Amino acid sequence: MSEGIVYWLQQTLNALQLGSIYALIALGYTMVYGILTMINFAHGDVFMIGAFFCFLAAVFLGLPFAPTLLLAMVGAALLGVTIERLAYKPLRHAPRVSAIITALGVGIFLENFTLALAPYPKNIPPLLEHVTWNLGGVSLSSLQVIIILLSLGLMFLLDYVVHRTPVGMAMRAISWDKTFVPLMGVPLDLIISVTFAIGAGLAGAAGTMYALAYPVIDPYMGIMVGWKAFISAVVGGIGNIRGAMIGAFILGGVEIMVTAFFPSTYRDFVAFTLLMLLILVRPYGILGKPRTQKV
Amino acid sequence: MKTRWSVGWEWLMAQRWLLPVLVAVGFVLAFAIEYDLFNNEYVRGVAMSVGIPEYTLEYTLFNKYVQLVMMYVGINIILTVSLNLVNGYMGEFSLAHAGFMAVGAYTAALLTQKVLPVAAYPGLFPLAVLAGGLMAAALGLIVAVPSFKVRGDYLAIITLAFLMIVKSVIENIDTIGGPRGIPGIKKLTTLPWVFFWVVVSVWVVRNFVYSKYGRGVLSIREDEIASDLMSVNTRRVKFLAFMVSSFFAGIAGALFAHLLQFISPRVFDIIKTTDVLIMVYLGGIASIGGSILGATVYTVLLELLRPSTVAAMLAWLPAVALDPLNEYFIRHLGVWRMVIMPLLLVLVMLYWPRGIMGLREFRWFIPRRDLEAHHRQHAHGGSHGAAHGH
């Protein structure tokens, strides 16, 4: 293969890896938005906590990859449900911005609480045996394959749960109407908790994968990644699960390609300019539907 | 229920002439504190005679750190009042405030460092601040354009993108320091200047909000299409609101740069915007009095939780009790301060979802005609107005 195509393929692979991590986090944003029309700004920090759970499991418990991943997911899910019960549930009928500011506050709390307990960046030990295959010049590491396949697997699982199971049906129904659906016997609080648990669990998985791919973690790592995942969700059309995945892969692709072909300091500039233009052209995201305004 | 307190409060709020008097007193105090006019035998004597111990003065009026905190409070009031115009009165969710601040800070800092001979003529400093504000206002006009078409969370993302773009552009221009920023800015921000700009920003925002355009701003928050149909020129209103808001963000940025004496793109990131957002919603939306309170409470609380401040506040304790306490606080509080603060914020939001003064206003800031209209409505048993009371 020619040099150019190899380079291109290599970068596509990197884009897929970054995009799948963004996608897992973006799903949490979009699910919570879909069901509560609330932006859960603490979600990026739940992702960070997931990475720290991974650190705890790998270093202090000495667990291998699969139990570590499971522990991070369960830990993050419990955290997500706890946050929802303590901080967001009392505000369900308050003005929307109060919930957003509360979420920001919870996020800052999580960051600094972690900082107080873990003041220095932590190194994650390599949990997986590092194998690199060479496919016609394109190098493919086992870690990349696992990250991409696992993320895609989780996404398809989520898509199946949301579109094909009774729980998913209840979630979609509640996002449609929060007054009458509970009257039909759908347990509102339980379904909202399940939504938070799934979203936070996916963020925990993303935290583990991120920690394995970029093995130095610190309490502030969730801020930028969280905002970017949120942007992915909006680009795809917030509230739309498939849209969030598409948006995440677009953002990951743009970021990697800009870094590959321009000086890396242009990354945010190009990515955010594209984002701005996209929203101006399609203000409701790629898969979002324009909300009809009645007068 | 009329308690003695509420009667006293009613009386106080009716004394509208007190507001200009307080502003004048504030100016005199600002000058006196800045030029250390209180630091003399006479003031010490008066303080002693009314029973104020001398160390109180040392820890308050003469203290450079306290003066610094006062200036930060002022700058945060400017930021909060101006962001409240867009996020509170107009009901958008703008995240771009730190971006406008950055533009104002960089414009003013470059002017005082490279163009204006401020060393010889310190009187040129207000020109630099004004230029910073105008530059930010010009960019505010650009951000206003997407708001014609996009609303809600999508507009929030556009303003976030704007903030990131500003930061990224500054990082990529090497002649203005790039990611390293600008060190060694002269300390030109003084307490009187901060106080002056606080008064100007409050005055302008208050007059804007209660003007014809201000009604337009409120009507956009309630229902944009209906206000369009009622012949509100929504585009012009949005232009004006964004312009005023970003102008004062730029002013605050310029003052901030000449107080901190060092700026870099990292200073103006999303965390800075988050701080201002918290102050706006803590104080309460659509309330100038709330913004002033929110900015003051948040800034002062953060400073009060500093280990050195706690140590200073405990200075009256006997040394036996003080030393272990001091050691404990200095070792632990510095880290836990930023844990306690967001927890307080969450608690305030849970028990006070509208913030301290959401949708209410100090009566001093409400024009007399509005108050009278409100009273007439009440006399006829009419419904409550939108932004009244307290």
> What confidence tens digit (pLDDT) does each residue in B266-325 have?
999 888 998 899 899 889 888 999 999 999 999 998 888 877 777 766 766 666 666 666
Q: Which residues of A touch B354 (CB under 8 A)?
A: 94-95, 98
Answer whether B342 sits within 8 Å of A106, measured CB to CB: yes
Q: Nearest C-alpha of chain B: how many angstroms from A7?
A: 26
CB contact B281 to A (< 8 Å): yes
Q: Which residues of A touch B226 (CB under 8 A)?
A: 295
Decide if B345 contacts B282 (C-beta within 8 A).
yes
Q: What is the ipTM of this complex?
A: 0.85
CB contact B314 to A (< 8 Å): no
How does the average pLDDT of chain B come out, rounded? 85
Among A95, A108, A284, beta carbon nearest to B353:
A95
Structural domain spans, chain A: 3-281
Decide if B88 contacts A95 (C-beta within 8 A).
no
Answer whether B225 sits within 8 Å of A293, measured CB to CB: yes
State mean pLDDT over B229-240: 90
User: Lowest mean pLDDT: which of B118-127, B155-164, B373-382?
Assistant: B373-382
> What confidence tens digit (pLDDT) does each residue in B189-202 have?
999 999 999 999 99
- What distance in Å separates the CA atoms of residue A190 and residue A135, rounded to the nearest whole number? 48
- What distance in Å separates the CA atoms of residue A127 and residue A72, rounded to the nearest whole number? 14
State mean pLDDT over B119-138: 91
Q: Which residues of A touch B169 (CB under 8 A)?
A: 269
CB contact B321 to A (< 8 Å): no
Q: How far is CA B39 from CA A33, B32, B35, B56, B195, in A?
A: 57, 9, 9, 13, 21
- What distance in Å separates the CA atoms of residue A6 and residue B126, rounded to the nearest whole number? 57
Answer whether A231 sits within 8 Å of B160, measured CB to CB: yes
pLDDT for position B89: 92
Q: Which residues of B touch A97 (CB under 8 A)?
A: 87, 93, 281, 285
Confidence of residue B386 (pLDDT cuts 50, 70, 90): very low
pLDDT for position B376: 79
Q: Which residues pair with A122 in a beta bridge?
A: A217
Distant-in-sequence, close-in-space partners of B9: CB < 8 Å, separation ≥ 6: none
Report how many Cβ contacts below 8 Å link chain A to chain B. Answer: 129
- What distance in Å separates the CA atoms of residue A119 and residue B135, rounded to the nearest whole number? 39
Among B156, B158, B338, beta carbon nearest to A276:
B158
User: Lowest mean pLDDT: which of A222-236, B72-86, B153-167, B365-379?
Assistant: B365-379
CB contact A278 to B (< 8 Å): no
Residue B165 Cα to chain centre, angstroms: 24
How does the average pLDDT of chain A come out, rounded? 89
DSSP A59: I
Confidence of residue B385 (pLDDT cuts 50, 70, 90): very low
Q: Which residues of B touch A236 (CB under 8 A)?
A: none
Answer whether A101 sits within 8 Å of B167, measured CB to CB: no
Among A94, A112, A263, beta carbon nearest to B353:
A94
Confidence of residue B390 (pLDDT cuts 50, 70, 90): very low
Among B149, B168, B343, beta carbon nearest to A109:
B343
Residue A156, both tokens: 């398809």
- What distance in Å separates the CA atoms of residue B6 and residue A216, rounded to the nearest whole number? 57
pLDDT for position A164: 93
pLDDT for position B383: 44
> What confidence tens digit (pLDDT) does each residue in A187-242 have?
999 999 999 999 999 999 999 999 999 889 999 999 889 988 988 988 888 888 88
Decide if B325 contacts B317 (C-beta within 8 A).
yes
Q: Nearest C-alpha of chain A: how many angstroms from B374?
A: 25
Residue B240 Cα to chain centre, angstroms: 19
Q: Which residues of A touch B151 (CB under 8 A)?
A: 283
CB contact B169 to A (< 8 Å): yes
Among A113, A272, A283, beta carbon nearest to B161:
A272
pLDDT for position B326: 64
Q: Which residues pair with B263 in a beta bridge?
A: B182
Answer whether A104 sits within 8 Å of B278, measured CB to CB: yes
Confidence of residue B384 (pLDDT cuts 50, 70, 90): very low
The residue of chain B with its CA nearest to that of A272 is B161
- What distance in Å separates the CA atoms of residue B219 and residue B97, rounded to the nearest whole number? 23
Answer whether B345 sits within 8 Å of A276, measured CB to CB: no
User: Lowest mean pLDDT: which of A180-194, B29-43, B200-214?
Assistant: B29-43
The residue of chain B with its CA nearest to that of A114 is B339
Answer whether A223 sits within 8 Å of B162, measured CB to CB: no
Answer whether B339 sits within 8 Å of A109, measured CB to CB: yes
State mean pLDDT over B241-257: 96
- What distance in Å separates the CA atoms of residue B386 and residue B223, rounded to the nearest whole number? 14
Q: Nearest C-alpha of chain A: how many angstroms from B344?
A: 9
Answer whether B339 sits within 8 Å of A116, measured CB to CB: yes
Distant-in-sequence, close-in-space partners of B72: CB < 8 Å, separation ≥ 6: B259, B299, B303
Confidence of residue B380 (pLDDT cuts 50, 70, 90): low
DSSP B382: -
CATH architecture of A3-281: Orthogonal Bundle (1.10)
Decide if B265 contacts B181 (C-beta within 8 A).
yes
Q: What is the residue type of A39?
A: I
pLDDT for position B345: 83
pLDDT for position A294: 58
CB contact A283 to B (< 8 Å): yes
> What confidence tens digit (pLDDT) does each residue in A9-31 have?
889 999 999 999 999 999 999 99
Residue A270, both tokens: 């190009």
Model confidence at B141: pLDDT above 90:
yes
Decide if A57 contacts A63 (C-beta within 8 A).
yes
Distant-in-sequence, close-in-space partners of B223: CB < 8 Å, separation ≥ 6: none
Cα dihedral sign for A281, A287, A293, A294? positive
The residue of chain B with its CA nearest to that of A101 is B278
Chain B 356-375, residues with CB within 8 Å of chain A CB atoms = 358
pLDDT for position B156: 83
- What distance in Å separates the CA atoms of residue A53 and residue A68, rounded to the nearest whole number? 8
State mean pLDDT over B82-104: 93
Answer whether B338 sits within 8 Å of A115, measured CB to CB: yes
Q: Minimal CA–CA distance to A113: which of A211, A207, A219?
A: A219
pLDDT for position B259: 94
Confidence of residue B388 (pLDDT cuts 50, 70, 90): very low
CB contact B229 to A (< 8 Å): yes
Confidence of residue B5 (pLDDT cuts 50, 70, 90): confident
State mean pLDDT over B204-211: 94
pLDDT values of chain A reduced to their tens digit, one per residue, 295 residues? 677 888 888 899 999 999 999 999 999 999 998 888 888 989 999 999 999 999 999 999 988 999 999 999 999 999 999 999 999 999 988 888 788 889 989 999 999 999 988 888 999 888 887 888 888 778 888 889 999 999 999 999 999 999 999 999 999 999 888 889 999 999 999 999 999 999 999 999 999 999 999 889 999 999 889 988 988 988 888 888 889 999 999 999 999 988 888 888 888 888 888 888 888 888 788 887 776 665 5
